[in-house]
Amino acid sequence: MSTATQTPTAEMPRLSFDCGTFEGFNFRSQCAIPRNLTAAEIVAWDPDRQGEAEFWPAGDAPAVALLFQRRTVTAAELLDLQRLLTELGGDSVVNYLRLHHAVNRRGLSLEDLTREQVEDYALDIYVGSNFCDVRRAAAYELFELYFEEEHRAWKNSRCDGLTFDPEQFLKSPALSVDEVNLGAQVAVMVASQ
């Protein structure tokens, strides 16, 4: 039986979270691995026995594909991802987005990243089905949260000329807004500059 088509065995590590599947290329056989592999199969991959290979997200787990940005993924990174997800309390979309922000926006590596670092970022995350609604909800919530007096004045105003423009609010130089597509969902992440 070819190593590229082996089925999971008891010697494969048990990983707590489903990371979707990964495409791969085997340098020994100089061809694509003919099937997608799980994270556990990548962690158990033996380059001496099976050949040097590289792997990247297949795209069936949008949050994982976002985190790794279609670049090659190592077994060590998958183990670090499992560690961080465990420390953060699970594989929720919000946790993946927090990791995406730390790795792809702040430039930290999964290996060096700690739960405390992820939690220290002042990052507000909004998830929904379309960007217009999610951006609007984010703007209104942040306006109320960070500008209580102004929000109260705006809300209680009987003046037709006193308006709040969610898009202008999100374009503030004090905010960094990142939009990501997660397949059936979209997310808007807002951080203070």
Alpha-helical runs (H) found in 7-158: 39-44, 47-50, 62-68, 75-88, 93-100, 115-120, 131-146, 148-156
Question: Given this model, what pLDDT does residue 13 score?
Answer: 67
| 173-179: average pLDDT | 94
Residue 143 tokens, joined: 């306006």
Residue whose token pair is 């970022």: 121
Output helix, strand, coil percentages for the chain, rounded to the nearest 5: 45, 20, 35
Binning pLDDT at 50, 70 and 90, where does residue 12 land?
low
Question: Given this model, what pLDDT does residue 1 score?
Answer: 32
Question: Given this model, what pLDDT does residue 44 score?
Answer: 96
For CA atoms 43, 47, 49, 53, give the dihedral sign.
positive
| 62-89: average pLDDT | 95
Nearest-CA neighbor of 123 among 191, 187, 175, 193?
A: 191
Binning pLDDT at 50, 70 and 90, where does residue 6 land?
very low
Nearest-CA neighbor of 54 among 85, 80, 82, 32?
A: 32
Contact assessment for residue 4 and residue 26, using Cβ atoms and an 8 Å cutoff? yes
Most distant CA pair in the chain, distance: 76
| 19-38: average pLDDT | 97
Binning pLDDT at 50, 70 and 90, where does residue 5 land?
very low
| 99-119: average pLDDT | 95
| 48-75: average pLDDT | 95
Q: Compute CA 35 distance to the chain's CA centroid, rounded to the nearest angstrom.
A: 24
Mean pLDDT over the full length of the chain: 91
Binning pLDDT at 50, 70 and 90, where does residue 4 land?
very low
Q: What is the DSSP letter of 15?
A: -
Sketch the domain layout of the chain as residue ranges: 9-120, 123-192
Residue 36 tokens, joined: 């997608």
Question: Given this model, what pLDDT does residue 99 score?
Answer: 97
Residues 131-150 pLDDT 10s: 999 999 999 999 999 889 98
Lowest-confidence region among 11-15, 30-34, 77-81, 133-137: 11-15
Please report, rounded to a whole number, the percentage of residues in the chain having pLDDT higher than 70: 93
Q: Compute CA 54 distance to the chain's CA centroid, rounded to the nearest angstrom.
A: 21
Cβ atoms < 10 Å from Cβ of 34:
11
Please give the radius of gyration of the chain, using alpha carbons only, rounded to the nearest integer. Answer: 21
pLDDT of 3 higher than 70: no
Nearest-CA neighbor of 193 among 169, 170, 173?
A: 173
